[in-house]
Structure 1
Amino acid sequence: MSNCLHLAIPAGDLEKAKVFYCDVLGCKTGNSEDGHWIDIDFWGNELTLHESTERLPSVRHEVDMGTVSVPHFGVHMSEDEFQALKKRIESAGLPYLDKPYRRFKDTEFEQETFFIEDPNGNVLEMKTMTNPEVLFRTTK
């Protein structure tokens, strides 16, 4: 698990957050301190959810698909994983903050993406790329 990202966020009620991240998104738990924090295996990255009363503020920024919430975080996943995740979200009756959308159509950077909120209002962008090998290639 070298070079994994670690991100700690305010999660509100840890039990609600755990249901969202594990039961809906399909993540697994790791280390924890009861009533304080819990580590989530977020597709090979360490997401630490902290019990909290505060929420992170967010604003909307202009991008090609309209406006998106910032800050946000998420993962790139295979097409199969992405479609399975969409089904789990829809089966759970969770609303999309920004519905699934295909970006950069007919380019090497084509991707499908959507935005959701966790129970504490943290924004997640989940995506799948048609050609993931070009992720860090520049267009210039």
Structure 2
Amino acid sequence: MKSNCMHLAVPAGDLETAKTFYCDVLGCKTGNSEAGRWVDIDFWGNELTLHQSEEQLPNVRHDVDMGAVAVPHFGAHLPDDEFQALKARIDAAGLEYLDKPYRRFVGDEYEQETFFIKDPNGNVLEMKSMVNPELMFK
């Protein structure tokens, strides 16, 4: 059996604050939930479960071509129009990028625009728009 839906559960801090960020800023929708404990988020077709928590994940930086990026992180690959609309929503909300939008691998088949942002609990998200998404796993 093959599925194209990934499930990821992360500590979210205060659920209401997290839901506001993921739904109102990023544009995601909620799914199943258990009040005060967890909520499922439709994260571009993937199931992201936000758990009420006290703890935050520690982040470290690893060197890559664009500099030192935060690890761990997760995110989504978006069509360019959705990626640009997401950047506009982030800017309209007055949020700061952890790592500002950057073009990687310019002129290469893997060319992409990417940025990093933290959610209210410190989870790091990397959002991408690939020029040639069909070549990602050739």
Counterpart amino acid of residue 111 in structure 2:
E
Name the % identity.
76
Counterpart amino acid of residue 80 in structure 2:
E
| Distance in 2, Cα, partners of 1:131 & 1:37 | 36
State the match for 1:66 in structure 2.
67
| Distance in 2, Cα, partners of 1:114 & 1:3 | 23
State the match for 1:44 in structure 2.
45
Q: Give deviations 1:4-41, integer Å, cap 9, x for gaps.
A: 00000000000000000000000000000000000000
What does 1:1-140 align with in structure 2 at a 5 Å threshold?
2-137=3-138
Instruction: Give TM-score, length-normalised by structure 1.
Output: 0.96
Q: Give deviations 1:36-57, integer Å, cap 9, x for gaps.
A: 0000000000000000000011
Runs of 4+ in 1 over 6 A off after TM superposition: none
| Distance in 2, Cα, partners of 1:92 & 1:99 | 15
| Distance in 2, Cα, partners of 1:125 & 1:77 | 11
SS of residue matched to 1:26 = coil
Q: Which runs of 5+ in 1 are unaligned?
A: none
Cα deviation for residue 98 of structure 1 reads 0.1
| Distance in 1, Cα, partners of 2:70 & 2:88 | 23
Cα deviation for residue 136 of structure 1 reads 1.4
Instruction: Give TM-score, length-normalised by structure 2.
Output: 0.97
Q: Which runs of 5+ in 2 are unaligned?
A: none
| Distance in 1, Cα, partners of 2:4 & 2:67 | 33
Cα deviation for residue 3 of structure 1 reads 3.0
